[in-house]
Chain A
Amino acid sequence: MENIIECKNIFKSFKMGKLEVEVLKNITLNIKKGEFVSVMGPSGSGKSTLLYLLGGLDVPTSGSIKINDKELSIMKDKEQSILRRRDLGFVFQFYNLIPNLNVEENILLPILLDGENVKNYETDLDEILEIVGLKERRKFTPKELSGGQQQRVAIARALINDPDIILADEPTGNLDSKTGDEILELFKKINELKNKTIVQVTHSVDAAQYGSRVIHVKDGKITES
């Protein structure tokens, strides 16, 4: 099966004044279409950094990343943005919602940005709201929601555009185990039924079990996979 994500010899370092901290050290990683990968590792090992690189939110110091056979580093901002809104769904460690938009508007953001008519997505929206259980709160603004509810909005936003890849950074970290399990079930379902590729970072061994493969990161290196 073809690789939907290909990373070759990625290095990532941050400049802290004169000091240069190397966070990712020579990471090579291929993820096939339809895989559900869990990334595990101690805090500070570089998991989030890796995930941001895969989504094109940051650029590696060296090395190449290909999504769908396209090299990220040579893409223009506009192409990358289009990639993000059509082919990628992001769920962050800290739920990231726009405070002055309501639940519905937050979820529909990628559609709005694509300049599409949101009316065509009404059924999709209803379906997703049903899945994340926020049907009654569709007109609420983020500050009127609990942390878990906000995370579910973020997940709904990652799903609305039916992306090929979902990148999730500890998506269930802030949820109770029951809701967490529901979300992971949902991930598993869309992974199996729609053949979506999912990469999730997690600390929980249980959560990692939902995936088809586990990658361990330690000190910026992949130790086993």
Chain B
Amino acid sequence: MKIFIKFLLRNILEKKLRTLMILFSIVLSTALVFSTLAISGTVKEMMTSQLRKYTGSSEIVIQKNPQSLGSPFFELKEINEFDDKMDYMIGNIQGFALYPEDSEQQVHLAGFTLEDLETLYNVSFTELDESQTFSNNKAIIGEGEANKLGVTIGDTIELMINQQTESFTIMGIAKPEGIFRYDGENLSIIVPKDTLASIYDASGKVNTIYIKTNDIEVNDLIDLLVEKYQDEDDFMVRTTITTLQIEQSTGSLTSTFSLMLIVVVFISIFIIYTAFKVITMERLPIVGTFRSIGATKKMTDIVLLGESFIYGVIGGVLGCLLGVGILNIMINSMAYNPYTGVTSEVTLVFGFEHFLISFLCALILSVFSALFPIIKVSKMPVRNIVLNQIKVVSENKKIRFTMGLILLIAPYLILILLDRPSIIICGLCIILVGCAIVMLVPLVTKYFVYVFEKVNQFIFKNEGALAAKNLRDNKGIIQNITLLTIGIASLILVNAVTQSIMEEVVNVFSDAKFQLIFQHEKADETYENQLRQIEGIDDVNGNYTALNVKVADRNDYIGFVWGVDAVHYFKFWDFEFNRHHNELFNELSEGRNVIISEIIRNKLELEMNDLLTLVMNNQEVSFKVIGFCNSPLNNGNFIFMDENYLKQDAKINYMTDIMIKTNHPKDVIERIKTTFQGENINIMDMDEQKQFNIEQNDQMFRLLEGFSVVIMLIGTFGIFNNFVVSYISRKRSLAIYRSVGMSKNQVFKMLNIEALSCGIVGGLTGAVGGVLFIIISNYIMKAMFMPVSVEFSSSLLISAIFMGIIVSVLSALIPSLRSKKLSIIEAIKYE
């Protein structure tokens, strides 16, 4: 057995380049498996910690309904009966201030006791003046805020609260965690609860309660609390973050990454499988020798499998390490806020199980890919192996062709028949089409060879014709063409998807016919009128919105329910409708009618005049569908109804935002700021918003592009290796060419023409494959309810073809340069 292990290790060390390539593809696939597994967890964590910035470790928040007309403050009632069900219950005040030294700077002001602050956010201080008590005009700020404002402990800062200037002395500076995680935009300052209460003229009162449960399901406690607060008017008891919120932000990301993962794993299997095919062929004489001296089939199989096992183990370990790195890069590029230039701190979330799964994937990947060629060898009679008589079993081409064709056509039939297949079925279809490509490409190549023989003869003379002939039976080159096809097809897919989504993002904004958005917590018609008075503003329109409205009897939510005055509203947005505008807009205000987006129409399977029942304000209300609207705005997750019905049914009093039409946005912004000085307002410039959105998406696409670079990297490396391996196995042939008078330059030329032809075939079949994938990707978009139609441009296809040619020719460069140094007799004498 010792001799086997020695043999095994020697095999691995002998062919360094190939070992490297196999390891490389295993490592990369493992790393990608790992990062894909861990990314959803990490993104969830990232989102959660962003969402938890203000709510800390609490699970339930109680506030007055922001839509209610009364004061937001209330007395903190004792709810002793739930004491054992709560870890803590913290009453506090959430407020707002301006920083007068920089009138632009808004401050999130919160009133806590020091004890509560520590309980809720688990703050730790870099500096804390312990000789003082946290009362009166003391304040605590975070490190980031302190740097931004240029203040240290003991300094005094002035804040504008409710139009009055108040000054505070900084008593502590906290580490940038929780509420103090400075994101470059919102400053947080904590002041004593009682102080803030008296400033707001609400001594002894709070406006927010944070609760963490103990020994009870969050929802159960919410039910109890709702019951308790029922008779009080207009309280809202909610979970601090809903899983819905998180899933919305991570769902599409993880599915996109999973899709990429399928592609990467597929390519890796192909590379490892082909590498092992070569390895087993090479080992054959030695396996034969072992067998002839009495080794059993099992022993030799173990030797070969052992090799793949070792690759799996090493690749798995390295892959997990690389995976952590990749995850880090991906997350950091997402945590980077291009608007403020600040990268927020993120903790990577991964567990032992992620490592284990990735590692096992590596093992399975390498052992299984190696299994098929090994089984093939194992079945050969000893005599043939010993005498190195390997009959190249010519596979039945007809069977292969029909199988390939079936695998190619079946997925599309399935997709057409199902019309709205699930994401899993779509993923399966992509794999099937990938398999079909692998089966069909070698056959397609045969036809290309006939063409090349003629064309190359014409362009490159006899060397060209020889090169074409060499493509005929050269396994390595056919594998390269297959690899190129899959690689290029995947690249086209990824790029087409990104481009299409990107275009939609920009398109949303081109539908907007207004320039500014104004936001205020208590915006109503008074604000609308005030704005209308401002010089330079041509028109305004306030929107009422209910968010995440549940559909009755379904587990679906409508992200945005907009209450509009249709005739006026649609002067601000240029949407496509299925009906004549005036008629539709008038009908909307005539009763409980809704216009729904095409995406909602598909998702809820609604048709004209169907009834849509929504749960609003704990009551079911039915609306009649009177029209459809096609817009990618908010991912198409919206419906329109008349504003009066929304206000009435959902108890909404304030406008989410007010759209403003103006020809001088910059001037108007300044005027609005002066008009509403000291109030918590927010103005967004649509042009800036557009830019911001593009940049936000840009990050995500850079990530996806990173993935495609990885795919191309694995692919290129595999192709390069194939060229090297096929060069090595063809040394003898090349030496014969040389011996009968082919000059070095002719050999060089021939090898390059081969690579060129290989690139052309791979590029063309890859382009076809890309189009095939894109067709499926449209079904994926449908399945994910994304209002995006994926299209391919001829420029994308052409650049992909060129990419194939470049990759192929570049990868062949080293072997063809090496051919110049080929020693003829050595290559001829020894194989």
Q: Which A residues are within 8 Å of any B CB, using their own CB?
A: 52, 55, 57-58, 77-78, 80-86, 88, 90, 92, 94, 96-101, 105, 109-110, 112-115, 143, 157
Cross-chain contact B741 with A114 (CB below 8 angstroms): yes
**Minimum C-beta distance from A174 to chain B (A):** 15
Interface hits, B635-681 → A, CB 8 Å: none
User: Considering only CB atoms, which chain A residue lies closest to B827 in the complex?
Assistant: A96
Is the CB of B744 closer than 8 A to any CB of chain A?
yes
Is the CB of B513 closer than 8 A to any CB of chain A?
no
Cross-chain contact A100 with B741 (CB below 8 angstroms): no
In the assembled complex, which residues on chain B have CB atoms less than 8 Å from the CB atom of A100? 469-470, 472-474, 733
Is the CB of B122 closer than 8 A to any CB of chain A?
no
In the assembled complex, which residues on chain B have CB atoms less than 8 Å from the CB atom of A96? 732, 735-736, 739, 828
Describe B's contact surface by its main secondary structure.
Answer: helix
Is the CB of B738 closer than 8 A to any CB of chain A?
yes
User: Considering only CB atoms, which chain A residue lies closest to B474 in the complex?
Assistant: A100
Is the CB of B466 closer than 8 A to any CB of chain A?
yes
Contact of B739 among A78, A84, A112, A114 (CB under 8 A): A84
Interchain CA distance A100-B736 in the complex, whole Å:
13
Cross-chain contact A98 with B736 (CB below 8 angstroms): yes
Is the CB of B465 closer than 8 A to any CB of chain A?
yes
User: Considering only CB atoms, which chain B residue lies closest to A109 in the complex?
Assistant: B740
Q: Max chain A CB contacts within 10 Å: which of B474, B735, B741?
A: B741
User: Considering only CB atoms, which chain B residue lies closest to A95 in the complex?
Assistant: B736
Is the CB of B825 closer than 8 A to any CB of chain A?
yes
Cross-chain contact A86 with B741 (CB below 8 angstroms): yes
User: Considering only CB atoms, which chain B residue lies closest to A85 in the complex?
Assistant: B741
Given A100-B472, A101-B469, A77 and B745 contact (CB-CB distance below 8 Å): yes
Cross-chain contact B744 with A77 (CB below 8 angstroms): yes
Is the CB of B543 closer than 8 A to any CB of chain A?
no
Cross-chain contact B732 with A81 (CB below 8 angstroms): no
Closest 9 CB pairs of A and B: A85-B741, A81-B743, A84-B741, A112-B462, A100-B473, A96-B736, A57-B824, A78-B743, A77-B744
Is the CB of B792 closer than 8 A to any CB of chain A?
no
Q: Max chain A CB contacts within 10 Å: which of B737, B739, B824, B829?
A: B739
- 8 A-B residue pairs with Cβ-Cβ distance under 8 Å, sorted by A, are A58-B823, A58-B824, A78-B744, A85-B740, A86-B741, A90-B740, A97-B736, A109-B742
Cross-chain contact A113 with B741 (CB below 8 angstroms): yes
B contact residues, total (Cβ < 8 Å) = 30
Q: A77-B744, A81-B744, A83-B741 are in contact. List 12 more A-B contacts (CB 8 A).
A: A57-B824, A78-B744, A78-B745, A81-B741, A81-B742, A86-B741, A94-B829, A96-B739, A101-B469, A110-B741, A113-B462, A143-B392
Cross-chain contact A113 with B737 (CB below 8 angstroms): yes
Cross-chain contact B743 with A82 (CB below 8 angstroms): yes
Cross-chain contact B465 with A112 (CB below 8 angstroms): yes
**Minimum C-beta distance from A194 to chain B (A):** 20
Interchain CA distance A202-B830 in the complex, whole Å:
20
Is the CB of B254 closer than 8 A to any CB of chain A?
no
**Minimum C-beta distance from B802 to chain A (A):** 28
Interface hits, B731-790 → A, CB 8 Å: 732-733, 735-746
Is the CB of B461 closer than 8 A to any CB of chain A?
yes
Interchain CA distance A97-B744 in the complex, whole Å:
18
Q: What per-residue 1/0 map shows which CB atoms of B441-464 lie under 8 Å from chain A?
A: 000000000000000000001110
User: Considering only CB atoms, which chain B residue lies closest to A88 in the complex?
Assistant: B741
Cross-chain contact B733 with A99 (CB below 8 angstroms): yes
Interchain CA distance A116-B463 in the complex, whole Å:
11
In the assembled complex, which residues on chain B have CB atoms less than 8 Å from the CB atom of A101? 466, 469
Q: What per-residue 1/0 map shows which CB atoms of B707-746 lie under 8 Å from chain A?
A: 0000000000000000000000000110111111111111
Given A100-B469, A113-B746, A81 and B738 contact (CB-CB distance below 8 Å): yes
In the assembled complex, which residues on chain B have CB atoms less than 8 Å from the CB atom of A84? 739-741
**Minimum C-beta distance from B470 to chain A (A):** 6
Interchain CA distance A55-B738 in the complex, whole Å:
11
